[in-house]
Structure 1
Amino acid sequence: MPSLLLRFFVAGVTLLAGGVPALAQDGPSFDCAKAESGAEKLICGDDELAELDRLVADRFAAAVAAVKALDAGAVQAEKELHAYQRGWIKGRDECWKAGDERDCVEFSYLRRDAELVTQFMLEQPTGTTTWQCGDSSANEVVTMFFDTRLPSVRFERGDSVDTGTLVPSGSGSKYEGNFGRSISIKGDVATYRDPDPDGAEYECRSTN
């Protein structure tokens, strides 16, 4: 994760949902007459995907507004955010390689929505839990949960911040982040895994 954005995330700047622009009535956020990729053409012919496109476009606009409000490093942070968004669009457009292109495009939007909301605190979390992991009282993980369309979590551990989304689990709730980070929760206990390459796993207990 880019260092400037990391400083923004750790600072905990909050942009409430009221600051997110209202969604348009129909059609995606882009001009369908100029659609080029298979994903864009698919979105233009699918009302549900078009609505998801508008949602993510509005989330992105809110995130840009948030980084522009930074006291320092705003210009570089905005450049990095735009670069990441371009990378996400490129990944979305690779969905033609998937077995079910529509499912791939839909999941791409749901995941990006969750990332933007949790990284930039575009909504208030529905709950926050602090976990004491392993034998050290200083070994803490904070999780903030968000009621996005794909339920999501924000991990805070030391000076690192990550986002994760709910995945199928046999029992309890499991959220997976980037590079192997995950947390499996059953009541007031959880199993937390650090991201690769360390990948250390800890048994944790809620301190709330």
Structure 2
Amino acid sequence: MNMVTPLLVSILTASACVTASLCSAATKPSPTYKTSFDCTGSQASVEKLICHDPQLAQMDLELNRLYLLALTDDHSVPRPDKVEVDQRFWIEARNQCGSDPQAKTCVIRSYAERAHQLRQGSAIARTKDPSRRTEGPLAYHCAGFSPLIAATFYTVEPGVVFLKWANTSVTLNQVPSSSGTQYTGKDYKGNYSFWQIGNDVFLQIPGSGQMTCAAEPVG
């Protein structure tokens, strides 16, 4: 007859409890955040990513706010009917990020660029709504650099800035900084940095040292 001592029973019970706890933690679903679309049904892999990521969910809500405002702007460029068509194509392109090895980076870039387009094309989308999470586009002139830099900011957590000049654009992510607000990123050309310290702005792009920049007057 096999006899199991009380001590062994206690050990086995504790082990089972620990295992069950670990399994429960491992299978615990991640939080679902509010977005412009329904997260309860079946979605594309990118939509699932957005639903469970607080930064992306905030970017999605803000982008939808800008889009709805642009639709009300008869003076938007392009016109509202074209804005609607462009939005459908943009959603299809955003969803393609699901096949990107760095899916979240791809989605952030997609939202940042689309927000820049909507704000640039519609004065109504640029209105100073207290709930807004975007700013810009603002123009900067950097010493020793001819093209103006257009910058659109996503004031989510962490923040994002979309920079565009000439035929180049780049999306940078906010990083911890002991002073000011700093954004960094990279592409196939190299590393980028955009740093705001009070009224001072600094930009570094591949092949260039740090440049001092000044905001151009708006309007």
* Cα deviations by residue, 1:22-57 (Å, 9 ceiling, x for unpaired): xx986882364444x5555x55xx9734x6675454
Q: Is the 8 A contact 1:189 1:205 kept in 2?
A: yes
Q: RMSD between aligned alpha carbons? A: 4.7
Report how far residue 151 of structure 1 moved.
1.4
Gap runs ≥5 in structure 1:
1-23, 99-103, 194-198
Q: Is the 8 A contact 2:55 2:156 kept in 1?
A: no
Q: Please, which of 178, 190, 202 is the counterpart of residue 202 of structure 2?
A: 190
Q: Which has the higher contact order (CA 8 A, sep 6+)?
A: 1
Aligned to 2:67: 64
Q: Is the 8 A contact 2:59 2:111 kept in 1?
A: yes
- Structure with higher Rg: it is 2
Q: What is the 5 A alignment of 1:31-46?
A: 32-35=40-43, 37-38=44-45
Query: How many angstroms apart in 2 are the aligned matches of 1:156 and 1:105?
Result: 22
Q: Is the 8 A contact 1:110 1:150 kept in 2?
A: no
Aligned to 1:176: 185
Query: How many angstroms apart in 2 are the aligned matches of 1:185 and 1:60?
Result: 24
| TM-score, structure 2 normalization | 0.48
* Cα deviations by residue, 1:41-81 (Å, 9 ceiling, x for unpaired): x55xx9734x6675454334323224322525322333223
Query: How many angstroms apart in 2 are the aligned matches of 1:81 and 1:167?
Result: 26
| TM-score, structure 1 normalization | 0.50
DSSP-derived class of the 1:73 partner: coil
Change (3 A) 1:167 1:70: same
Aligned to 1:133: 143
Q: What is the 5 A alignment of 1:1-208?
A: 29-30=37-38, 32-35=40-43, 37-38=44-45, 48-49=52-53, 55-68=58-71, 69-71=73-75, 73-74=78-79, 75-92=81-98, 94=99, 98=101, 106-121=104-119, 123-125=133-135, 130-134=140-144, 139-143=147-151, 145-157=153-165, 162=169, 164-166=171-173, 173-176=182-185, 180=189, 182-185=192-195, 188=200, 190-193=202-205, 201=208, 203-207=210-214
Percent of matched pairs sharing the same residue: 7
Query: How many angstroms apart in 1 are the aligned matches of 2:60 and 2:52?
Result: 14
Aligned length: 164
Report how far residue 166 of structure 1 moved.
1.7
